[in-house]
Amino acid sequence: MNMDEPSIDAVLSPELITLEEPPAEKDACIEFMLDRAVEAGRVSDRETALEALFEREAETTTGVGKGIGIPHAKTDAVSRPTIVFARSSEGVDFDAMDGEPATLLFMLLVPAEGGEEHLELLSSLSRALMHDEVREDLHEAESKAAIEETITEAVA
Amino acid sequence: MDRVVTVVPEDGLHARPAAEFVETAGEYDADVQVGPVDGDPVDAASMLAVTSLGVASGDDVELVAEGEDAEAALDALEEVLSTPEAESAT
């Protein structure tokens, strides 16, 4: 493994994981998740980050199917890579190609000058989420610690 | 049948080019897989699977198609991967 690759521990922390039900509407859900990162002190400029996230969604949805939404953006509003996790019991309509509403939500924010970091995080997370048991564990986890452990192990 | 194609769009196999790729792969009567050359292929009609590959602009990918429309599917997918984003028809 490349030593420069961001380790998952550095990007995910308990204050970035929420067990609260996010809003069922996509834009509101994205704002809700962004606010977790803002509250954790990860975002210097909320509006800039939000604009970058919405711009990316406007290009094409980040609903990748199998009930997963990965809204993401490269933005100077963060100084280090950040992942926010939320879980929706109702499901959020991300307009995914397979028509499934998103129930597992990951927001990725990466500094603008981050280069390939962005793609590496996105691909390792997606690779982990292709496994049925990882998705099941995330649905069933009862604590932030259990979610953190599942994601960390799956991405490692 | 299989084919190696270089990914031209600046975004690599992400964002709009990936969406077009996945949509196109699902349009044909063929089972299409995509992966690194000589690596482990994944379902080309799954956005999650395609995103997991982490393909950047300039990378080569190997497409493998089986089924009645295999050749047409490969032709269409090669076109998606060979079209710089600004010129793509969306």
| Residue contact B51–A123, C-beta within 8 A | yes
The domain of A15 spans 10-155
Q: At A149, which amino acid appears? A: E
> From CA A37, how far away is CA B37, in angstroms rounded?
38
**CA–CA distances in Å: residue B46 to residues A88, A97, B25, B57, B68:** 22, 9, 9, 19, 20
Q: Look at residue A64 and tell me if it is in a domain.
A: yes
Please state the domain count of chain A: 1
| Residue contact B47–A97, C-beta within 8 A | yes
CATH of the domain at A49: 3.40.930.10
Q: A-B interface: how many C-beta pairs under 8 angstroms?
A: 51
> From CA B22, how far away is CA B42, in angstroms rounded?
12
* Chain A residues 92-121 with a CB less than 8 Å from chain B: 96-98, 116, 119-120
- Chain A positions touching B23 (Cβ under 8 A) are 97
- Chain A positions touching B42 (Cβ under 8 A) are 130
Q: Look at residue A1 and tell me if it is in a domain.
A: no
Query: Which residue, A93, A105, A137, is CA-closest to A20?
Result: A105
**CA–CA distances in Å: residue B15 to residues A89, A142, B33, B57:** 26, 33, 19, 12
Q: Look at residue A3 and tell me if it is in a domain.
A: no
What are the tens digits of pLDDT across the range B20-66?
999 999 999 999 999 999 899 999 999 999 999 999 999 999 999 99
* Confidence band for A120, pLDDT divided at 50, 70 and 90: confident
ipTM of predicted complex:
0.87
Q: Is some CB atom of chain A closer than 8 A to the CB atom of B37? A: no
Q: Look at residue A27 and tell me if it is in a domain.
A: yes
Query: Which residue, A146, A153, A151, A152, is CA-closest to A68?
Result: A151
How many residues are present in chain B? 90
Q: Alpha helices, DSSP H only, in chain B? A: 15-26, 47-52, 70-82
Q: Look at residue A2 and tell me if it is in a domain.
A: no
Q: Look at residue A71 and tell me if it is in a domain.
A: yes
Q: Look at residue A4 and tell me if it is in a domain.
A: no
From B11's Cα to the closest Cα of chain A, the distance in A is 10
Q: Give the domains, in start order, of chain B with CATH numbers.
A: 2-85 (3.30.1340.10)
- Chain B positions touching A98 (Cβ under 8 A) are 47
Q: Look at residue A50 and tell me if it is in a domain.
A: yes
| Residue contact B51–A126, C-beta within 8 A | yes
Structure tokens at B47: 């956005």
Please, which residues bridge with residue A110 across strands? Answer: A74
Give yes or no for a contact between B34 and B50, defined as CB atoms under 8 angstroms apart: yes
What are the tens digits of pLDDT across the range A44-100?
999 999 999 999 999 999 999 999 999 999 999 998 899 999 999 999 999 999 999
Count Cα neighbours of B42 within 13 Å in the Cβ-side half-sphere.
20
Q: Is the pLDDT of residue B88 over 50?
A: no
- Chain B positions touching A121 (Cβ under 8 A) are none
